[in-house]
Amino acid sequence: MSPDIALNHSQRGWTCTFTRVFVIALSVTFVATAAAQEPPNRPNVILIFADDLGYGDLSCYGHPTIRTPHLDRMAAEGLRFTQFYSAGIVCTPSRAALMTGRHAVRSGLSEESPRVLFPDSGGGLPESELTIAELLKQANYDTACVGKWHLGHLPQFLPTNQGFDRYLGLPYSNDMDRVPTSPKGLQAFLDPRSDYWNVPLMRDTKIVERPADQTTLTKRYAEEAVGFINEHKLGDKPFLLYLAHTMPHVPLFRSREFENVSRRGLYGDVVEEVDWSVGQVLDTLRETGLAENTLVWFTSDNGPWIVKGLQGGSAGLLRDGKGSTFEGGVREPGIAWWPGTVKPGVTTELGSTLDILPTACAMAGVELPKDRKYDGYDLSSLLKNGEASPRHEMFYYRGQDVFAVRQGPWKAHFTTQIGYGGQPEKHDPPVLYNVELDPSETTNMAKDHPDIIARLTDLAEQQKKTIEKVPSQLAIKLPE
Ligand code: MG
């Protein structure tokens, strides 16, 4: 009952009005007390993260031959972003940003060389960083990490020491630990066998299989995810599930059921199995009745590894791919799904993996710590009501350097370099593209827009001032 109702009835006499106001006041007090005592309705959160999947690799993003019916349905029922950005051009910095809501340069995990962690690395995500799992723990979430971690394989860096109750997966990329006797060069990737790479499968902090049978990884990750969801079917405790697929990062593996099913060949088979896995997760949510209280995000860590030829994916109409600060390196499929809460549709508003942590925390009623700088925004009102995104800019890091910055439709490249190979090329004035008019970044419009260049240059300089120098985690090597 609103105060308006009491006012409307006030003509009946002051006694009546007084009684109503008194009742309203009592009701308000009761509601406020109840709100203080009961925890907020905290949604479950599931992050599904593909590895090296390109902007153009799903049917709902225009791929002509890869079939992704489950992701297409997720997109139709949820919100599909056309301008969703990962915050890293390769695995490790991208994952650091997703887990912390902060650019990886803030945690010492963004360098030009090495660009990612390796089996001989001694570093990882510092314990001083707060992951999305650690923050949601404050709201009593159960937390599971399934899949590729790649934020440090030593015990202190593993998911189980970063807020996750449990972990099953590979601690780093599936093309590491190459066995010296495996076929030379690209040959091993064309007809891959699991024993060519001695990568470990870990449960919590222990290696349970080595080399991991990579043909069954996608299936086993799905089973683990489904089991975890089913454990929560009573809905009495909220959960966070981070499902980070090893695929479709090369070497490409799929289970027997997905051999030769796709007209896109091996890469298509692998993506179609990842799509099947998404279907397993969403079907389990529907069957358990948890769908209406679960936010699911699907995206990828970085663009397609196009230098791998047919083994790599597609960035669609975007330029370049993994390893590059052109759009193909970082713009990703991005789908948010929560039946009854996320407003279905397609949005051209900006979003980023950096925004997932602040959005999830806002929905869970967890306040972000004030002692550090966050680079993400709460996208709740965009997701729920289709309102404008609070994100208007994106910074494109390569190593510790801001290679490019986007604000609105404009993107200025201060330095460019192809994803793999080549040399960095500095630009003064920067190269300027309107990436809404020209998403393929073909036509430099710098000479007609000095004012926009000045504004974007200033934005990049302001951003750099917020970065504190921290020790490089990527430079630390294990003792020989
Ligand atoms: Mg990757």
Interval between CA 377 and ligand 1 midpoint (Å): 23
C-alpha 20 – ligand 1 centre gap (Å): 62
Q: How many CB atoms lie within 10 A of CB 446?
A: 16
- d(CA 162, CA 135) in angstroms, rounded, equals 10
Contact 60, 75 (CB under 8 A): yes
Categorise residue 382: left if φ over 0, alpha if ψ from -120 to 50, beta otherwise: alpha
Q: Which pair of structure tokens corresponds to residue 422? A: 């080549």
Residues in the chain where the model's pLDDT stays below 50: 1-39
Can you give the pLDDT at residue 480? Answer: 82
Q: CA angle at residue 274 from 230 to 224, to 5 degrees?
A: 30
CATH 3.30.1120.10 domain position(s) in the chain? 395-465
pLDDT digits (tens, 9 = 90+) for 28-42: 444 444 444 444 589
Q: Name the CATH topology of 44-392.
A: Alkaline Phosphatase, subunit A (3.40.720)
Residue 361 falls in the annotated catalytic set: no
> CA–CA separation, 389 vs 383, rounded Å?
9
Which residue among 91, 103, 232, 245 is the active-site one?
91
The C-alpha atoms of residue 349 and residue 328 are separated, in whole angstroms, by: 18
Cα 367 to ligand 1 centre (Å): 30
pLDDT attached to residue 50? 98
Q: Does 150 qualify as catalytic in the annotation?
A: yes
CATH topology of domain 395-465: Arylsulfatase, C-terminal domain (3.30.1120)
Could you tell me if 458 and 412 are in contact, meaning their C-beta atoms sit under 8 angstroms apart?
A: no
Centre of ligand 1 to C-alpha 199, Å, is 16
Per-residue pLDDT reduced to its tens digit, 225-273: 999 999 999 999 999 999 999 999 999 999 999 999 999 999 999 999 9
Q: How high is the pLDDT of residue 453? A: 98
Name the catalytic one among 63, 70, 103, 150: 150
Q: How far is the CA of 161 from the centre of ligand 1 (A)?
A: 22
Report d(CA 247, CA 49) in Å as an integer: 10
- Residue 329 CA to ligand 1 center (angstroms) comes to 10
Question: CATH 3.40.720.10: which residues of the chain?
Answer: 44-392
* Model pLDDT, residue 186: 86
Res 12: pLDDT: 37
Phi then psi for 433, rounded to 5 degrees?
Answer: -120, 150
